[in-house]
Amino acid sequence: MSIAFTRPVSPRIADCELTHLSRSPIDPDRAAAQHAAYERALRASGLEVCRLPELQEHADAVFVEDTAILLDDHAIVTRPGAPTRRSEVESTARALAGRFTVHRLKRGTLDGGDVLRIGRTIYVGQSRRTDCAGIVALANAAAPLGYEVVAVPHDRCLHLKTGATFVGPDDAGRPTVLINPDWIDPSVFEDVALIPNHPLEPFAANALRAGDRLIYPAAYPRTAERLRTAGFAVEEVDISELEKAEAGLTCMSLISDET
């Protein structure tokens, strides 16, 4: 059974780091309720949900994806680009140590939200949160595990997965990526089918593959229809309060296929 590792919403989420969004009021209780609904959607998709320890003083702690990368039975603990998030990784490392062989990046900065894995290829966004040294460090850690790293420079969105996410195979069996081509250069992906977001929904390229379906933000119905037309099963969830913290669906969990 696949496992989704999550972390509770901090009561200080309103103090979160922001890069491309203006700050607006965030209701922590509403954000927590939406996060609980997100966890229910993960369970309904057949995943086991394993909550990591709460970090009340860390405003961005719910975005657990940024703190580790899961590759088979290995976990690579990252070095987040925002200094305020660096101390989150120790909690993640301790929680994963019982299930995975844990590795640590020791140079540069790297957010897990900039990491998009398709098969044995890892696309890594070079962004304000992930630098060249971090990408090289990940490449060195991933190569012995059988993975190739491809750098993807971008500067128009927070993370690579803000603008491009893997949504599964198409009818011909090709891996398929949902992409905002205004934010992420489509040419970086080879032998991949692409579904562009609806142009009126620029933040709509972040979808979470869970089991045989996609969990998807309810705010983007036009792009959801594109996904359904392409043959994907889509379950929509409301994460509007969390999106004020520059959240995407993928950033709130670490997904492992290990049993």
First-to-final CA distance of the chain:
5
Q: Which of 50, 74, 159, 198 is catalytic?
A: 159
* 26 closest CA partner among 245, 218, 203: 245
The string of pLDDT tens digits covering residues 194-207 is: 999 999 999 999 99
Q: Is 96 exposed, middle or buried (0-12, 13-18, 19+ CB in 10 A)?
A: buried
Q: Catalytic: 157?
A: no
The string of pLDDT tens digits covering residues 120-167 is: 999 999 999 999 999 999 999 999 999 999 999 999 999 999 999 999
Kindly report the number of other CB atoms within 10 A of residue 104's CB atom. 14
Q: Is 11 exposed, middle or buried (0-12, 13-18, 19+ CB in 10 A)?
A: middle
Instruction: Give the whole-angstrom CA distance, residue 146 versus residue 141.
Output: 10
3-state secondary structure of 18: coil
Instruction: Give the whole-angstrom CA distance, residue 217 versus residue 15.
Output: 23
Q: Catalytic: 198?
A: no
3-state secondary structure of 152: strand
Is the per-residue pLDDT at 71 higher than 80? yes
The string of pLDDT tens digits covering residues 13-24 is: 999 999 999 999
The mean predicted confidence, pLDDT, of the chain is: 97
* 185 closest CA partner among 206, 169, 164: 164
Domain count of the chain? Answer: 1
Cβ distance 112 to 60 under 8 Å? Answer: no
Instruction: Give the whole-angstrom CA distance, residue 155 versus residue 128.
Output: 7
CATH number for position 123? 3.75.10.10
3-state secondary structure of 147: coil
Given this model, what pLDDT does residue 1 score?
77
| pTM for this prediction | 0.96
Kindly state the percentage of the chain with pLDDT values over 70.
99
Instruction: Give the whole-angstrom CA distance, residue 207 versus residue 189.
Output: 17
Could you tell me the pLDDT band of residue 259, with boundaries at 50, 70 and 90? very low
Instruction: Give the whole-angstrom CA distance, residue 163 versus residue 231.
Output: 21
Instruction: Give the whole-angstrom CA distance, residue 89 versus residue 166.
Output: 25
Q: Which of 35, 103, 157, 251 is catalytic?
A: 251
Question: Buried (b) or exposed (e) across 174-207, using 16+ Cβ within 10 A?
Answer: ebbbbbbeebbeeebbeebbebbbeeebbbbbbb
Cβ distance 246 to 206 under 8 Å? Answer: no
Across the range 162-184, mean pLDDT stands at 96
Could you tell me the pLDDT band of residue 171, with boundaries at 50, 70 and 90? confident
Q: Which residue range is the domain that position 13 belongs to? A: 3-256
